[in-house]
Amino acid sequence: MVLVLFSICLVASAAVAYVNKITTEPIEQAKQQKVVAALKAVLPEFDQTSEATTVDGFEGVYYSATLGGEIVGYAFESTSPNGFNGNVKLMVGFAADGTIVNIEVLEQAETPGLGTNMTVVDNPLLLSFKGKQAASVNMTVKKDGGDVDALTAATISSRAYADAVARAYNAFKSVTTGEINAYTSATQLKQQEGEAKCDGTACGGCTKEEAKECGNGPHGKCGENCKHK
């Protein structure tokens, strides 16, 4: 009996491992194909790209692109952890002179019909950056005093998108000029401000009780559709 049970477990384990292998490989291949397509979409014309490379102070990777042996641009896989439903991961492409060529969304899990509109062609977020000199853009949403047009009813998602672009630009400066800056996102600044003045009654736009009613944390981080805003 013990031998039979052991044999069944062994076969079941092998089956699970096989299924995992045949599903994991296609998923990884699909992700790699998406990266390749994103590089083509966000970079100037090029004939070769480098392997994925890391840079100090940046959690993602970047690729340099060349044409005829001359560097024409850089693309950064940049992630903000501050999305409404988790990470927002972008591929942000820069020309060698710092112009933002284009941006592609690689991963997001935002609210359908609201935050997911960051994937729509020529959406307000993308148009706030595309074709502009990165140094000339205040990379925070207009609600926070910046230059970025937020998606309708999706401020948190919009902040995360802008945050990911800002992280990419910071890394671009580090790669091209050697400038390494301590980066603090607009979302982090707002949270720090709220926490610093929190007296147990109101911070971050909502009272503590209102924040709890909206299903969010103790410092008044309200949701996209918070009725108290």
For residue 130, what pLDDT is reported?
A: 98
In this predicted model, what pLDDT tens digit does every residue of 73-88 receive, in sequence order?
999 999 999 999 999 9
- Global model pTM greater than 0.85: no
122-180 pLDDT, tens digit per residue, is: 999 999 999 999 999 999 999 999 999 999 999 999 999 999 999 999 999 999 988 76
- Count how many domains the chain has: 2
Res 227 pLDDT > 50: no
Tell me the C-alpha distance between 43 and 63, whole Å.
Answer: 10
Bigger pLDDT: 172 or 196? 172
Burial pattern 147-157, b for ≥16 Cβ within 10 A else e, equals: ebbbbeebbbb
The confidence band for 29, taking pLDDT boundaries of 50, 70 and 90, is confident
Return mean pLDDT, the chain. 81
The answer to whether residue 221 is domain-embedded is: yes
- What is the dihedral angle through the alpha carbons of 114, 115, 118, 122, rounded to the nearest 10 degrees? 20
Q: With 0-12 CB in 10 A as exposed, 13-18 as middle and 19+ as buried, what is 100?
A: buried
> Does 216 lie in the same domain as 168?
no
Among 137, 130, 138, 63, which Cα is nearest to 101's? Answer: 130
Does 55 have pLDDT greater than 70? yes
Enclosing domain of residue 143? 41-186
CB 116 within 8 A of CB 142: no
Asked whether residue 157 is assigned to any structural domain, the reply reads yes
